[in-house]
Every structure is written in structure tokens, then in C-alpha cells.
Amino acid sequence: MPTPHLHTGRVARGKALVALSLVLLCGACVSFSKGGLFPEARDQVFVEYFDNGTFFRNVEFDLSEHVVAEILKRPGLKLTSKEQAEVLITGRVVSVQQRVLSEDEARKLTSASTTITVVVEILDAMTGALIKRTQLSQRGEYVPKLLEDIDDAREMAFRFLARDIVRELETEF
């Protein structure tokens, strides 16, 4: 039978070994490097107003404003002037579709949606060269009984599109 003194020493060594293992494992899991999701070479962004290829008024302004708001919410991105920018975001709203999703027995609207499609271009601000072009679509829905309307659906679609457009800066070019 081991003496209490020897047993206490083994426990202390075991605890020390566990603590050392945790420190080494944590060091492998956590990085303390500077930076974020956006490479430093494209964290200065300028947003041009989008073009409007639809018959719907002001959708280009609404989308541009939502993209600016999304950039301002993102740590690691800086909204800047065109002259100081590293990346330009521009594009064109190519489609706005409004659809009835459901009606009641009296054919009264119970839910509907708006789908907005945009072609986004990411350009090198110094050269104007096209870095990336992509087409994105998002849908917003509304329910009149919940006192929602088409503007609520558009707002939702713009918010989701802005999020997706800014996420395009995270992906590799």
C-alpha cells in the first residue's frame, strides 16, 4: 500500500501533466494574429450606386444603402472614398418579382413575396479591372394579417442581398 505522501505526489504530478496538456492543446487551437475575415489588400471599400434594369423605382438606391449599412456593421471593413478605396462594389438590379404565395377562400391575399436579383461586380479600385462578377437573388415575404406589406418584403430581400454581397469580399478571388 502506497504511503499518503507518495500518493499526493502522484496526484500533483498528474494534475500538472493535465494542465500542461491543456496549455499545449489550447495553443494549437487559438491564434492571436492580427487580421480578420477580409484580407488587408481589400478592406478599404467604396460602393457605387447600383444600376436599375427594372421598371421598379428606387430599388438601386435602396440596395446601395443597405450594402453601405452592412459594410459599416462589419469589423475589418472600412467604407472609404473612391480615391482611397482598394475595392469597388457596383452592380445592376436585373429583376424584381412579386408573387402571391397564398390566398384565402375569397381569393384575398394571405401571403406574398418579392424576389430581387442583382449582378454584382467587384473591381480593383486602382486599375478598374474586374476581379469578380456574380449573380445573387434573395426573397422577402410578407403576411398582410400581420400588418406587413410589400415594403417589408423588399426590406427583407435588400437586407439579405446586402449581407450576401459583402460576404463576396470574404471569399477568395
pLDDT tens-digit readout, 124-135? 998 999 999 999
Closest to 136 measured CA to CA, from 165, 101, 108, 158: 165
Q: Name the DSSP class of 48.
A: P
Q: Where are the beta strands (DSSP E) in the chain?
A: 44-47, 51-52, 78-79, 87-103, 109-124, 130-142
pLDDT tens-digit readout, 48-72? 999 999 999 999 999 999 999 999 9
* Phi-psi sector, 147: left (phi>0), alpha (psi -120 to 50), beta: left
Question: What is the mean pLDDT of the segment spanning 126-147?
Answer: 90
Q: Report d(CA 74, CA 63) in Å as an integer.
A: 17
- Each domain of the chain, given as residue ranges in start order, spans 1-32, 37-167
Element (H, E) at 5: helix 4-29
pLDDT at res. 87: 93
CA angle in degrees (0–180, nearest 5) for 145-102-114: 85
User: Would strands 109-124 and 78-79 be described as parallel, antiparallel, or unpaired?
Assistant: unpaired
- Residue that the C-alpha cell 423605382 belongs to: 57
Give this prediction's pTM.
0.72
CA angle in degrees (0–180, nearest 5) for 94-142-134: 25
- CATH architecture observed for domain 37-167: 3-Layer(aba) Sandwich (3.40)
Mean pLDDT of the chain, nearest integer: 81
More confident residue, 15 or 98: 98
| CB neighbourhood size of 59 (10 A) | 22
Q: Helix (H, G, I), strand (E, B), or coil: what is residue 34?
A: coil
pLDDT at res. 173: 55
C-beta separation of 128 from 161 below 8 A: no
pLDDT at res. 172: 63
Q: Is the pLDDT of residue 122 over 90?
A: yes
Q: Is the pLDDT of residue 7 over 90?
A: no
pLDDT band at 121 (very low <50, low <70, confident <90, very high): very high
Closest to 77 measured CA to CA, from 173, 163, 17: 163
pLDDT at res. 102: 81
